[in-house]
Structure 1
Amino acid sequence: MTVKGIDISKLKKVGSKYMYRGRLWSLNKPVKSSSKNKKMMVLATKTVNGKKRGKVVHFGQKGYGHNYSEKAKESYLARSANIRNKSGKLTKSDKWSANYWARKILWPSKKPATGPRTTRKAA
């Protein structure tokens, strides 16, 4: 089985950041996505076979609201809690999954919803 992700120790370190794919990254710190269809991206890290490895994860569909009401937030968190990867493992606790980062950054469970109290009805 091939090991996925890049070995973090092989990346050039500049201060507290790492050079990867032509840009400086702070590990596990989301930034605006370079993808035209996604809101954010992150150089996510986790330990695989005793080595710290990283992978760029894009998350959040552009054009869709996030965290706009308590009802929508509860619904999203309940729905996304059961998303599984190809191996059948839950993705809500996998740092290399978009679901993990969307739940943590866009739909944080311990913070109040930041948008309007109700959603607009379709015309």
Structure 2
Amino acid sequence: MSKHLNPLEKEFLIHQYKLNGQIKLRAFCAVHHISESAFKSWLKKYEEGGLEGLARADAEIRSVLPEGIDRTEEAYKREILRLRIENERLKKNYALVRKADGQTAYVRLKPKNSQS
């Protein structure tokens, strides 16, 4: 059964799957209670469009913008979407870290009120 996850959570799971090259897709999906077809779809969208691809940015922008609108307005709408996703990331207490090999990954931060 597929969960309803926001784009940031989907991206986080994709990164987790890619980091562990030894786990099979079926096992990974079973552990996270995600259907294989949904996860494959997320992978494809992420490969094609990154985080915006997961958010279905193109479909949202095309439905909002009438024909003939200057592309700079589309760029503003993409930036708004990117900022909304970033805001969601911050609310969920994720940090974006850059690894030694140059790749980026999301890690969940400990709550501020934790004493450990």
Q: Is the shorter-chain TM-score for this pair beyond 0.5, marking a shared fold?
A: no
Question: Relative contact order: is structure 1 or structure 2 higher (C-alpha 8 Å, sep ≥ 6)?
Answer: 2
Larger helix share, 1 or 2: 2
Compute the TM-score of the two structures, normalised by the length of structure 2: 0.28
Larger strand share, 1 or 2: 1
